[in-house]
Amino acid sequence: PEVSTPTSAAAVSQYACQRRTTTENHNKNLTDAFEVLAENYEFNGMEGQCLAFRRAASVLKSLSWEVRSSERVHELPCLGETMEELILQYGRSFEVNKILSDERYQTLKLFTSVFGVGLKTAEKWYRRGLRTFPDVLEEPSIHLNRMQQSGFLHYGDISRAVSKAEAQALGSIIDEAVHAITPDGTLTLTGGFRRGKDFGHDVDFIVTTPERGQEERLLTSIIQHLKQQGILLFSDYQSSSFDMSKLPSHRFEAMDHFAKCFLILRLEGREVEGGLCRAEGDSRDWRAVRVDLVSPPPDRFAFTLLGWTGSRFERDLRRFARLERRMLLDNHALFDKTKKEFLAATTEKDIFAHLGLEYIEPWQRNA
């Protein structure tokens, strides 16, 4: 399959896993506009339209040239006529501006930006006439769960981007915790920072131990260790429900079943080279940061790494596997439906090879 950066629009694959997409986006105005439209469709329960705009934005992100007119656009995959029209109007079209100033859109965007608040909760609050954080916090009939309470408490800090230097500092802290527990444990950076992004909304790590069946204990020990250091501000631990014999999920956006935790950690300024990312006028020498940890069994590591490296790339890998190879892929395993067997992998390269795909580096997966 053709995966080099094509200059011809006709050579662009409809699957993100057959495109190389770096963090350099030559069509940011357009993809930002498409993301607003996609999000608005999502807020209105129109999932098909939402997906169509996200796929189109992902195609535009992979291009090495800036789209200026619709002339080469109709050769591109995933870009329908509505989208061509939008490209002609260019970026912040009337429709996008209308959404951006819409009260419902603004409120749902605000509420879902709180850690622990999903679309359902945000809609419920909106229907009750709530529009601002004080509205929510002062409404006596609203019960916030533990995650939402922490979300509001640390809102300023955790809605602020995490820098690479901060991610590195957190890596050292967690690496130390892992090694204090088991000398042959490993810590691997994943998520957006593994894709080479300069900033993220959190930091994602995979922790492993070579001893089978010890992965859950490793995670709970790490949490305990962070607590003893006084830097654990919040922790939501989910134990493993992984079942080896189950087939990979058919669903695109399936969560995995490994032991994992969603944390908020206290990061000290002195730990970070070049200092913390802080709001202007904030003189504290620490900030709160979101961290995700997942702990798969050792033989599932490659699947977890590929899955958690994320972006649209990973969604399309699953879609490609299913539609083009009759295989089922998720964060746990790869199953060949023709041969009726699981395919083993110790590295990401093994998985690409099983799928008959050219290997694509993590920093080329910003789809």
Residues annotated as catalytic are: 202, 204, 292
Take residue 187 and report the two structure tokens written for it.
Answer: 């810590």
The least distance separating ligand TTP from the CB of residue 354, rounded to whole angstroms, comes to: 19
Least separation in angstroms between CB 67 and ligand TTP:
24
Give the separation between CA 54 and CA 35, rounded to whole angstroms: 7
191 binds Mn ion (CB under 5 A): yes
Among 151, 170, 189, 192, binds Mn ion (CB under 5 A): 192
Based on the shown chain and the rule CB under 5 A, indicate whether residue 362 belongs to the binding site for Mn ion.
Answer: no
Q: Is 243 annotated as a binding residue?
A: no
Residue closer to Mn ion (CB basis): 202 or 316: 202
Residue in the structure block whose two tokens are 């993100």:
16
Residues of this chain that bind ligand TTP (CB under 6 A) = 191-192, 197, 200-202, 204, 255-256, 260, 292, 307-308, 310-311, 314, 331
| 307 interface partner picked from Mn ion, ligand TTP, none, CB below 5 to 8 A per type | ligand TTP
Residue 207 CB contacts under 8 Å (≥ 6 apart), including other chains: 174, 178, 185, 186, 187, 188, 215, 218, 219, 222, 293, 294, 295
* Segment lying near Mn ion (by CB under 5 A), choices 58-66, 107-115, 149-157, 348-356: 58-66
Among residues 83 and 115, whose Cβ is nearest to ligand TTP? 115
Which of 61/300 has CB closer to Mn ion? 61
Of Mn ion, ligand TTP, none, which one sits near residue 314, judging by CB under 5 to 8 A according to partner kind? ligand TTP
Neighbours of 235 (CB within 10 A): 20
Torsion region of 278: left, alpha or beta (phi above 0 gives left; psi -120 to 50 gives alpha)? beta
Q: Which is nearer to ligand TTP, 166 or 256 (CB)?
A: 256
Q: Looking only at residues 265 through 294 of this chain, which bind Mn ion when binding is defined by CB under 5 A?
A: 292
Helix axes 119-127, 103-112, angle to 10 degrees: 130
Task: From the list ligand TTP, Mn ion, none, pick the one residue 256 interacts with, judged by a Cβ distance below 5 to 8 Å according to partner type.
Answer: ligand TTP
Work out how close the CB of 80 gets to Mn ion at its nearest, in angstroms, rounded to a whole number: 26
* 135 labelled ligand-binding: no
**Structure tokens given for 215:** 């992965």
Backbone angles phi, psi at 257, to 5 degrees: -105, 10
Q: Which is nearer to Mn ion, 151 or 191 (CB)?
A: 191
- Under the binding rule (CB under 5 A), the answer on residue 202 touching Mn ion is yes
H or E segment to which residue 219 belongs: helix 215-228
Q: Rounded to the nearest whole angstrom, what is the least distance from the CB of residue 300 to ligand TTP in the complex?
A: 12
Euclidean distance between the first and the last CA atom of the chain, given in angstroms as a whole number = 18
Q: Are strands 203-208 and 286-295 parallel, antiparallel or unpaired?
A: parallel
Task: Report whether 86 contacts 29 (CB < 8 A).
Answer: no
With vertex at residue 224, the alpha carbon angle to CA 237 and CA 235, rounded to the nearest 5 degrees, is 35
Closest CB to Mn ion belongs to which residue? Answer: 191
Report the distance separating Cα 131 and Cα 133, nearest Å. Answer: 7
Could you tell me which residues are annotated as the binding site for Mg(2+)? 202, 204, 292
The footprint of Mn ion (CB under 5 A) covers 64, 191-192, 200, 202, 204, 292
